[in-house]
Amino acid sequence: MLPVERRHRIKELIQQFKSIKISDLSTQLGVSEMTVHRDIKPLIEDGTIIKTFGGISLASNDQTVYQNGCKLCHRTVEDRMAYRLILSNHQVETFCCAHCGILRHQQLSDEDVVQAICHDFLTGTTTSAYHAVYVMDTSLDMQCCKPQVLPFQWGSHAEKFVTGFGGDVYSFNEANERLISQMHTGADCCSTGEE
């Protein structure tokens, strides 16, 4: 099989199984795991799939993932605002926005979370939540959870954004702390965590 054919086959398999082990792909395709890693690289880069512990998962706009809405506050999830946690048990948790995603993220240990994914607020590009920057206290209201947290892939875009709409730019860790402190000062929020 040519690499392009294998990639096509990997896409079919991942659509079917949602998540699959590298070792299984290696068996299915009759190539080494190293070759599988090389084959899936472009699929990870273009956001089709997500790397998990020992395997891959469908990044997917698959509606079934969103059936129950945000895992934390049960709002309907729009892909553009969605924040996803890929867990070490191969579960994918989807949240309505970075607010809920970060709050849930804080409840989990580092070993639980394989990957955290969000979308650049301007371009919609999939980006790692750890590397993203976050705009808070801005005047633009996206009508989701408060305090609002908007992710950006590039710090320079976030800076330009706050020039127009106001607010401040934070790193992942800073946004975590800021969110917690704002919640403690009694800002109203979609979720009390008591549901």
Residues forming the site for Zn ion (CB under 5 A): 70, 72-73, 75, 96-97, 100, 144-145
CB-nearer residue toward Zn ion: 86 or 96: 96
d(CA 95, CA 135): 18
CB-nearer residue toward Zn ion: 7 or 99: 99
Cβ at position 107, least distance to Zn ion in Å:
13
Cβ at position 144, least distance to Zn ion in Å:
3
CB-nearer residue toward Zn ion: 48 or 134: 134
Cβ at position 120, least distance to Zn ion in Å:
17
Cβ at position 136, least distance to Zn ion in Å:
13
The pair of three-digit structure tokens given for residue 170, joined into one six-digit string = 């934070």
Burial 12-35, CB ≥16 within 10 A → b, else e: ebbeeebbbbbeebbeebebeeee
CB-nearer residue toward Zn ion: 34 or 180: 180
CB-nearer residue toward Zn ion: 14 or 70: 70
Cβ at position 106, least distance to Zn ion in Å:
14
Beta strand 133-136 pairing with 83-87: unpaired
d(CA 6, CA 48): 15
CB 152 within 8 A of CB 158: yes
CB neighbour class for 195 (10 Å; exposed up to 12, middle 13-18, buried from 19): exposed
